[in-house]
Amino acid sequence: MKQQKLLGVGTSYKTIKSEKIGVLTGILYMAPYNLSGKNVCPNASAGCAAACLNTAGRGAMNVVQAARLKKTNRFFEDRQQFLWDLVNEISALRRKAKARGMKAAVRLNGTSDLPYEKYKIRDTGKNIMELFPDIQFYDYTKLETRITKGQLPANYHLTFSRAEDNDHKVDQVLEHTSAAVVFAGDALPDTWRGYPVIDGDEHDARFTDAGPGTIIGLLAKGRGKKDETGFVVNI
C-alpha cells in the first residue's frame, strides 16, 4: 500500500506564490487545534480556532480533512517513524528544488503549532532542522517563548501570530522577530501601532522579508470576516 505523503508541494495557494521569488515550499497540514482529539495548537485562542483556514480552498473537501486527520494520528502514534518519513520527503524536495534552480523551504506547521526544534530524531541526536542545514524552515507560532526563550536552529524562522489573547505580548516579541496580524477590510494599513506593515498575502516565504519590528499584514478570509472576538483587527 502506498504511503501517504506528509508534505504538500504546489498544493497551497500562498506557498505557490513563493515560487515567483525562487522558493519551492513543502508544507505539512494537520487536523488543527483539537479536531483529532489531540491538541496540536496549544495556545490557540477562541478567535484563532474559529477563523482557522483549515477548511479554506481544498481544505473544504472531506478527503483532504481525512488526510490531515490521518497525518495527525501518525504523528502521535509513532512520532519517530513520522519524523523519518519527513526526512525522506524533505530529501526529495531538496532534489526537486535543485533541479529547478530554486531554494527549498519547509513549513511544518501549516495548521498546527508544534515545537519541532525539540524533537530529536532517533539515531541522530538532532532535530530535523539540524539534519538539513542547507534548507530553510519557517513557521508561524503563538508560543512566544519559542521565540524569546528558545534556542532555535539558525535555519528556522518563526513569525509570531498575534491574537486577541496575546496582543499584550506583541511589542516584546517584535524585538526578536516579526508578528502576523489579521486585518478586517479590503486593504492593509501602512503602519500599525507605529510598526511598518507589509503584505503577507503576497507570498509565504517570511524568512525573506520579515525582520524584527515588522508587521505581516493579512486580510481576513472566510470565517474570519465575521470575527467578533478581537482576533481580526478593525482599522
Give the dihedral sign, CA 40/176/182/11.
negative
Alpha carbon distance 17, 21 (integer Å): 8
Q: Is residue 233 in a domain?
A: no
Burial profile 196-210: b = 16 or more Cβ within 10 angstroms, e = fewer:
ebbebeebbbbbbeb
Q: pLDDT band at 14, cuts 50/70/90?
A: confident
8-to-14, 27, 60, 135, 144 alpha-carbon distances in Å: 12, 5, 16, 16, 27
**Count of domains observed in the chain:** 1
pTM: 0.91
Question: What range defines the domain where residue 81 resides?
Answer: 7-226
Q: Is residue 93 in a domain?
A: yes
Q: Is residue 232 in a domain?
A: no
Taking only the tens place, the pLDDT of each residue in 30-76 is 988 777 888 898 877 776 766 665 545 554 456 877 889 999 999 99
**pLDDT attached to residue 63:** 80
Q: What is the mean pLDDT of residues 173-189?
A: 96
Is the CB of residue 91 less than 8 Å from the CB of residue 11? no
Q: Is residue 234 in a domain?
A: no
190's CB contacts (< 8 A; 6+ apart) are: 196, 197
